[in-house]
Structure 1
Amino acid sequence: MKCKLNSLSLVPAVVLLLSSGLARAQNSVIDQIVKEGNENSQLEKLAHELIDGVGPRLVGTPQMLKANEWAVAKYKSWGVSARNEKWGEWRGWERGVSHIDMVYPRVKSLEGTQLAWSPGMGNKIVTAELVILPDLADSVAFQKWLPTVQGKFVMISMAQPTGRPDDNWQTFATKESFDKMKAARTAQTDAWRSRITKTGFTARTLPVALENAGAAGIITSNWSAGFGVDKIFSAYTKKVPTVDIALEDYGLLYRLTESGNKPKISMHTESKELGVVPTYNTLAEIKGSQKASEYVMLSAHFDSWDGGTGATDNGTGTLTMMEAMRILKKVYPKPKRTILVGHWGSEEEGLNGSRAFVEDHPEIVKNLQALFNQDNGTGRVVNIGGQGFAHAKEYITRWLAAVPSNMRDSIKTSFPGMPGAGGSDFASFVAAGAPGFSLSSLSWSYGNYTWHTNRDTYDKIVFDDVRKNAILAAILIYMASEDPERTSTEKAVLGNNPRTGQPMKWPEPVKVTRRGGLDN
């Protein structure tokens, strides 16, 4: 006798079977992502080509354009559609050679870097004495002193009392000695800040006043609180060079000048003004097969300051996203949703590339499932916050569950979190109400040693950590693409500001600067 089964009794079994099949399919893709990322990593090769070959990527420089073109060619070699999208214009500038030597009272080559957009000296070599910005009574006294800078190099930075980072003092000094040094440094820093204020100028306008008075050049030292490391930003002078001298050499020159030895330095710096140049975002995509008008995004800024080669700010973020995209194209070539990657220009001057993208592509922002951005150095990801989205915990936790435990267990999450108002490019999307998230990494002394410094170079990359980040990013994008549900963009109640007691507000979109470094 054959037993007749009610068709309804088969439903749970069918659902279970389908669910089990889906889980196996997901596990298969994730296993392939992990295998490809670990066994066929292209990170070292990509890093060498970008960091060593192209070098730093200051907005408006030929190296930035070369990086844009390199990335498009690399994506196309993987079968990924890519393009450079113009979003603005910038002051074109190219760094040349720099030679700075002390020639009196003895000869010593000095470690120094002309600041970004510093005027060049043509074929000239200028040899001149140094003078320290004096501590004068007020702006009237400063104006009387100002003509004495004619033909001299002017030192406008404080001489640090120690070139040892604080952790070195903590390891070896007595508490009394450490406390004494910190107190003296704080008093000296306050006194130097007052010295500049009494001139009637700011750190930005003082170099211009000095060059207008006939100074041969401006000498700074922007120490980054580590051995041999300085931060390299932009010059404000238009006619004479502004050069950062490393703490060790700056201190030598300062002491010799202060003691009346009248040291002289010889300087030759070159740079080229290139007029107005276009600036781009590099975009690449793998078209969705089922929900092509919905998007998941990888994100990292492409530009850098150029004291070093931009290895960890943000070469490693760039490499993470390129490698994730390469892996996805190989093991997940037909995603449900369209996968985009954005390599943004001019993040360093105010998130300009990503802000332009948000302004120019409302249809993508509106249909964004999730964006993952990485931009704080070479370390492995250890923190993901909900950026103030009320239901971020539900979907991010779901996606993270698919990540192998050896990566997932070290990642802390905070939900709903607070919406990022700046800091990196995910904030451009958050301000528009789109779910953009930061993959926050271990420090590896990022703030002191590589963030915007002359030591942000290839050798600081920790490839094992970057490899994990690329795998993590690829898995999160895969899970977000496959998720049958759309992510909620409902905003959490932010509560009151603990300092003011006033209700906190969601960050507003900021207007992009589309013409940068130009007078008009």
Structure 2
Amino acid sequence: MKKTIQLLLAFALLFSSNIYAQDLNPVIDGIIKEANENSQLERLAHELLDVVGPRLVGTPQMEHASKWAIDQYAKWGISARKENYGTWRGWERGITHIDMVSPRVQSLDGMQLAWNPSTGSTGVTAEAITLPSNIADAEAFKAWLPNVKGKFVLISMNQPTGRPDYNWEEFATEESFQKMKDERDAMTKEWRENIGRTGYNTRTIIAALEEAGAAGLIASNWSRGFGVNKIFSARTKKIPTVDVELEDYTMLYRLAESGNKPVLKIVAESKDLGEVPTFNTIGEIKGTEKPDEYVILSAHFDSWDGGTGATDNGTGTLVMMEAMRLLKKFYPNPKRTIIVGHWGSEEQGLNGSRAFVEDHPDIVKNMQALFNQDNGTGRVVNISGSGFVDSYDYLGRWLAAVPRDITQHIETNFPGTPSSGGTDHAAFLAAGAPGFNLSALNWSYWNYTWHTNRDTYDKVVFDDVRNNAILTAILAYMASEDPEKTSREKRVMPISPRTGKQAEWPTQRSPTRKGGM
């Protein structure tokens, strides 16, 4: 009992001393007060998401976003620059109209995919047909292919329900829910096998349909939520590819299957801009005592363009911009240089961060720490040591300075394992540098906002984003001030349950420096 009381007293003393130290720290106090009372997040979000909009690599909007960020940093007294690292296919989205004109008139909800070939303002009018449901083999499909000439082809599976599973789980009987899932699984299996019997897969069949003279392709990449589809890139060269939301897509499918011959007019205007530069946007607050050592704040700037890229990765971008503003105001002369990296073309394979790692080995070699935020609008709930043996020591010291109302939500995992991809800190880990991902609560991220037509300003939860900005700013401050250089000693990697062999530390990969052509 006596030992328990002593431990409790020691913990209370440690806790109170941390609070006392924090209260006496004008930098931390200033960061917290300013973030809570004079946050710039809502304004920045409006300007980035509503005014600039989506930031697809190779588009004028990505160029606009970079200029906007550089100008914003300049207003705060932070030097920033655009740093080219390659080129990409330039493209600009125009107007999309998808209208059913027969057997009745209805405007449909949908949009052209990224890098879609333009139809021009006159558009294309044609009947929509489905793929045959019982393809015997590749020869039978080859014999059927002439049927697509001059027609729109529906290339996605006809989903049996537009209700997400959580809705079924809440309202359906257990038997009914299970029946739906079994039927959907059987339909999905048969759809995939049917495509396989054509001699193609879901990607390669697109070129075959275009070569056979299809007027265009209609897809529906449903994201398992009400009214939400994932919007990626077109794979056609000359004919339009549009994604139609599930409610309208399944109607078209039923009409085509029942012989009612739906006719659509699709206008999908766009501009092919040739080969354009691709780049990162870099901001910097120069260090005073150790200017050649670096703390890096990291978030990818680019997005897909189904929505406006609000939670992927507008919110991560806002966190880093607000953190830099707070640091410049209350910590204008950091011990180490603080860099913010707004990476380009993350969505096509971490290209911007990989280019920075490859082009700046001196910075990577002398990196104190990198803090990355990507996955959605939620508060940070997990930080891993990324496989560094001593990460508990220094991350623990830094986190101790963060307000308890923020850290109480965070689980830590030490030493953790290094990420091999998925988001930009992985590019730095592959080079052996201490990069840490600030992993967020998902707020239905995977179904509703990740790469979808619903990733927009209204999904941002500003209280959580504000907490993340405070967390990031304090971690950067503590990492900069730490008298010790962070250790890069790596853990012994575990045995992979998949292969039965010892896992290896990720290896550094070069970026794509000429893409989308």
TM-score interval, normalised by the smaller of the two chains: over 0.9
3-state DSSP of counterpart to 2:167: helix
- What is the aligned partner in structure 2 of residue 62 from structure 1? 60
Segments of 4+ moved more than 3 angstroms: 22-26
Matched, 1:37 2:35: yes
Q: CA deviation at 1:353?
A: 0.2
Determine if the alignment matches structure 1 residue 317 to structure 2 residue 316: yes
Larger mean Cα displacement after TM superposition, 129-138 or 324-333: 129-138
1:153-192, aligned counterparts within 5 Å?
153-192=152-191
5 Å-filtered alignment, 1:106-185, equals: 106-135=104-133, 136-185=135-184
CA contact (8 A) 2:22 2:28 kept: no
Q: Is 1:487 equivalent to 2:497 in the alignment? A: no
Name the SS for the 1:410 alignment partner: coil
The whole-number CA distance in structure 2 between the counterparts of 1:250 and 1:461 is: 28
Letter in 1 for 2:450: W
Q: 1:199-278 residue pairs with structure 2 within 5 A?
A: 199-278=198-277
- Inter-partner Cα distance in structure 1 for 2:159 and 2:371: 39
8 Å Cα contact 1:205/1:236 also seen in 2: no
CA contact under 8 A between 2:23 and 2:29: conserved in structure 1? no
Letter in 2 for 1:156: I
Residue 207 of structure 1, CA deviation: 1.4
Shift of 1:124: 2.5
The 5 Å alignment of 1:430-469 reads: 430-469=429-468
User: TM-score, with normalisation over the residues of structure 1?
Assistant: 0.95
Cα offsets for 1:318-376 (capped at 9, x unmatched): 00000000010001001000000000000000000000000000000000000000000
Shift of 1:196: 1.3
- DSSP 3-state at the match of 2:354: helix
Matching of residues 281-300 of structure 1 within 5 Å:
281-300=280-299
Q: What's 1:15 paired with?
A: none
2:332 alignment partner in structure 1:
333
8 A Cα contact 1:51 1:458, kept in partner: yes
**How far is 1:99 from its partner?**
0.5
Give the aligned residue type for 2:341: G
Q: Distance in 2 between matches of 1:291 and 1:297?
A: 14
The alignment's C-alpha RMSD in Å is: 1.2
1:101 to 74, 95, 99: 99
Of stretches 116-125 and 410-419 in structure 1, the one that deviates more from structure 2 is: 116-125
- Measure how far apart 1:205 and its partner are: 1.7
Q: Distance in 1 between matches of 2:241 and 2:498?
A: 40
Aligned-residue offset at 1:199: 1.4
Look up the equivalent residue of 1:207 and give its one-letter code: I
- TM-score, length-scaled by structure 2: 0.95
Moved more, 416-425 or 204-213: 204-213
Aligned equivalents of 2:311 and 2:494: distance in 1? 35
Rounded to whole Å, the distance in 2 between the matches of 1:116 and 1:24 is 48
Measure the CA separation in 2 of the matches of 1:271 and 1:198. 35
C-alpha separation between the residues in 1 aligned to 2:201 and 2:212? 16
Distance across 1 between alignment mates of 2:456 and 2:484: 42
Deviation string 1:106-130 (CA, Å, 9 cap, x unpaired) is 1110001110001001232222111
Deviations along 1:279-314, one digit per CA (max 9) or x if unpaired, are 110000000010000000100000000000000000
Structure 1 residues 501-512: aligned runs within 5 Å = 501-512=500-511
> Following the alignment from structure 2 to structure 1, what is the Cα–Cα distance between the partners of residues 502 and 183?
40
| Alpha-carbon separation, structure 2, partners of 1:191 and 1:390 | 48
Q: 1:515 to 1:170 in 2, by over 3 A?
A: same
**Is 1:91–1:275's contact at 8 Å kept on the other side of the alignment?**
yes
Aligned to 1:11: none
1:25 Cα offset (Å): 8.6
- What is the CA distance between 1:495 and its match in structure 2? 1.9
1:392 is matched with 391
1:201 offset after TM fit, Å?
1.5
**Contact 1:431–1:508, Cα closer than 8 Å, also in 2:** yes
- SS of the equivalent of 1:225 reads strand
Give how far 1:26 is off: 6.5
1:92 aligns with 2:90: yes
Which amino acid in 2 is paired with 1:36?
Answer: E
- 2:10 match: none
Q: How does 1:505-520 map to 2 (within 5 A)?
A: 505-518=504-517
Task: State the identity %.
Answer: 68
Deviations 1:377-409 (A, max 9, x none): 000000000111111111111100001000011
* Contact 1:219/1:242 (8 A) holds in 2: yes
**Residue 79 of structure 1 pairs with residue 77 of structure 2:** yes
State yes or no: 1:50 paired with 2:48. yes
1:65 & 1:209 partners in 2: Cα distance?
A: 35
Gaps of 5+ in 2: 1-16
How many positions carry a matched residue from both structures? 499
- Give SS of 2:340's match: strand
**1:369-388 to 2 correspondences below 5 Å:** 369-388=368-387
The residue type equivalent to 2:32 in the other structure is V
**Runs (5+) with no aligned partner, structure 1:** 1-18
